[in-house]
Amino acid sequence: MNKDVKEPIQKKWIWIGLVIILLGNVPWYFSDSMVEPYIFGFPLWGFIILIFSVILSAYLSWICLTQWNLVEDEEEANK
Domain ranges in the chain are 39-79
E strands within 1-79?
38-39, 42-43
3-state secondary structure of 4: coil
Query: What pLDDT score does 68 carry?
Result: 77
Are 28 and 38 a contacting pair, CB within 8 Å?
Answer: no
pLDDT digits (tens, 9 = 90+) for 6-30: 676 778 888 999 999 999 888 777 7
Segment 42-66, tens digit of pLDDT:
788 888 889 999 999 999 999 888 8
- C-alpha to C-alpha distance for 18 and 32, rounded to whole angstroms: 26
Indicate the pTM of the whole model: 0.70
Measured CA to CA, the distance from residue 25 to residue 30 in angstroms comes to: 11
Residues forming beta bridges with residue 43, ordered by sequence position: 38
| pLDDT at 71 > cutoff 70 | no
